[in-house]
Amino acid sequence: MSTSRRDFIKILATLPLASSSFASDGHSEKNGDLASNGTSYSVLMDSTLCVGCRKCEWACNDKNHLPNKDISTFEDTSVFAFRRRPEVDKFTVVNKIQSLKEQQTIKIQCMHCLHPACASACIVGALKKQECGAVTYDADKCIGCRYCMVACPFQIPAYEYKNVLTPKVQKCSFCVDKLEKGEKPACVEMCPNEAMTFGTRAELIEVANSRMHQHPEKYFHHIYGEYEAGGTSWLYLSQIDLRGSEFPQLSSDPIPKLTETIQHGIFKNFVPPLALFTLLGVAMHSLKDKDRD
Partner 1 sequence: MKKIIFALSFISIQAYIYAFVDNSNPTNCKECHTCDKPSTQALCLHPCPRHETTNSNKHNLSEGPGIVFFKDIAEHFTPVKFDHRAHADMSSLGVEKCNFCHHFTPPGKIQPCRDCHTKNSEDLKRPGLKGAYHRQCLGCHREWSHDNKCFSCHENTDKKTPVDPSDKSDIIANAHPKIQSPQTLVYKTPYRKAPIVTFHHGQHIKSFGLQCVNCHEKFTCGNCHDSDPNKKKKRTMQQVHQSCDKCHRADNCSKCHSLKEMAPFNHADKGWKLNYPHSKLACKECHKTPEEKPKKECKFCHKTEWTRQNFNHNSTGLKIDAAHSMFECSYCHSENNTFKVFCNKCHFDGRDPKKKPVGEYLTL
Partner 2 sequence: MKARPLNIPFFTPGVWIVFSLALIGASAYLYRMFFGLAEATNLTNSYPWGIWIAIDVASGVALAAGGFTSAALAEIFHREKYHVILRPALLTAMLGYTFVVIGLLADLGRYYNVWHPMIPTMWQGNSVLFEVGLCVMAYLNVLYSEFAPIVVDRFKGKVTFKNEYLRQKTEGLLTFLDKFFRKILWVLIIAGVVLSCLHQSSLGTLMLIAPTKIHPLWYTPISPLLFWLSAVAVGYPMVIFESLLASKSFGIKPETHVLSSLAKIIPFTVGFYFAAKVIDITIREAWPFVGEGSLQSYMFIFEMALFAIPLILLTQEKIRQSVRGLFISSALVVSGVVINRINVFLIAYHPPYTEEIYLPSIYEIAVTVGLICALVLVYRFLTINLPIVTIEDGE
Query: What are the residues binding partner 2 (CB under 8 A)?
Result: 3-4, 7-8, 11, 19, 21-25, 27-28, 83, 85, 87, 117, 119-125, 141-147, 149-151, 153, 155, 157-167, 248-250, 255-256, 258-260, 262-264, 266-267, 273, 276-277, 280-281, 283-284, 287-288, 291
Among partner 2, partner 1, none, what binds residue 220 when CB lies within 5 to 8 Å by partner kind?
A: none
Residue 36 engages partner 1 in binding (rule: CB under 8 A): no
Binders in 254-273 for partner 1, by CB under 8 A: 257-258, 261-262, 265
Nearest Cα to 116, choosing from 277, 200, 20, 230? 230
Q: In the complex with partner 2, which residue's Cβ is closer, 197 or 238?
A: 238
Q: In the complex with partner 1, which residue's Cβ is closer, 94 or 127?
A: 94
Q: In sequence order, what are the residues at sequence separation of 6 or more whose Cβ sits closer than 8 angstroms to the Cβ of residue 132? A: 39, 40, 41, 174, 176, 179, 180
Q: State the minimum distance, in angstroms, from the CB of residue 113 to partner 1.
A: 18
Q: In the complex with partner 1, which residue's Cβ is closer, 77 or 245?
A: 77
Q: State the minimum distance, in angstroms, from the CB of residue 111 to partner 1.
A: 19
Q: b/e per residue, 17-52, with b = 16+ CB within 10 A?
A: eeeeeebeeebbeebeebbeeeebbbbbbbbbebeb
Q: In the complex with partner 1, which residue's Cβ is closer, 166 or 252?
A: 252
Among partner 1, partner 2, none, what binds residue 72 when CB lies within 5 to 8 Å by partner kind?
A: partner 1
- Outline where DSSP puts E strands in the chain: 41-46, 93-96, 105-108, 127-129, 135-137, 158-159, 169-170, 196-200, 234-237
Q: In sequence order, what are the residues at sequence separation of 6 or more whose Cβ sits closer than 8 angstroms to the Cβ of residue 163? A: none
Q: In the complex with partner 2, which residue's Cβ is closer, 64 or 209?
A: 64
Q: Cβ distance 230 to 114 under 8 Å?
A: yes
d(CA 249, CA 30): 26
Where residue 115 falls (left for φ over 0; alpha for ψ -120 to 50; beta otherwise) is beta
Q: In the complex with partner 2, which residue's Cβ is closer, 45 or 127?
A: 127
Q: State the minimum distance, in angstroms, from the CB of residue 106 to partner 2.
A: 13
For residue 68, how many other CB atoms are within 10 A of its CB? Answer: 18
Residue 155 engages partner 1 in binding (rule: CB under 8 A): no
Q: In sequence order, what are the residues at sequence separation of 6 or more whose Cβ sits closer than 8 angstroms to the Cβ of residue 31? A: 114, 115, 129, 254
Residue 33 engages partner 1 in binding (rule: CB under 8 A): no
Among partner 2, partner 1, none, what binds residue 28 when CB lies within 5 to 8 Å by partner kind?
A: partner 2
Nearest Cα to 46, choosing from 219, 248, 241? 219
- Indicate the DSSP class of residue 250: -
Q: State the minimum distance, in angstroms, from the CB of residue 155 to partner 2.
A: 5
**Rule CB under 8 A: which residues touch partner 1?**
49, 51-55, 71-72, 75, 77, 103, 190-194, 197, 199, 203-207, 209-210, 213-214, 221-222, 226-227, 251-253, 257-258, 261-262, 265
